[in-house]
């Protein structure tokens, strides 16, 4: 997610025009395509981990709520418990 920090600039860019009423330049299409691909993969990985039906309504809960862990984090937790 840290690699997508540049999107913050565009999050409010059109809500707050520049002085003189000018709008900022739109995000370059290659940056948008890259961000869109990364976000789609993050959403898909989250939906798989939490068994979420992305086509279901808002009233359908996730299949599990255990936090996601990186493999290195889970190993370090195992070492701490030993």
Chain segment 23-65, per-residue pLDDT in tens:
778 888 998 899 999 999 988 988 888 998 888 888 888 888 8
Contacts of 1 (CB under 8 A, 6+ apart): 42
Q: Which H helix or E strand runs over 10?
A: helix 7-11
Q: How many domains does the chain have?
A: 1
pLDDT greater than 60 at residue 75? no
Query: What is the predicted pLDDT for the residue at 33?
Result: 92
Q: Give the mean pLDDT of 11-23.
A: 75
* pLDDT value for 72: 60
Q: How far, in Å, CA of 11 to CA of 2, rounded?
A: 15
Residue with tokens 């000018």: 22
Q: Give the range of the structural domain holding residue 51, as residue numbers without chain letter.
A: 2-81
Contact 35, 7 (CB under 8 A): yes
- Say what the pLDDT of residue 73 is: 52
pTM above 0.85, yes or no: no
């Amino acid at each position: 997610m840290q690699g997508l920090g540049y999107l913050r600039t565009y999050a409010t860019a059109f809500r707050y025009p520049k002085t003189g009423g000018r709008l900022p330049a739109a995000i370059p299409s290659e940056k948008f395509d890259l961000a869109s691909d990364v976000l789609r993969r993050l959403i898909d990985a989250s939906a798989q981990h939490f068994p979420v039906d992305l086509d279901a309504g808002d009233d359908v809960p996730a299949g599990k709520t255990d936090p996601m862990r990186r493999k290195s984090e889970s190993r370090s937790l195992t070492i701490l418990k030993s």
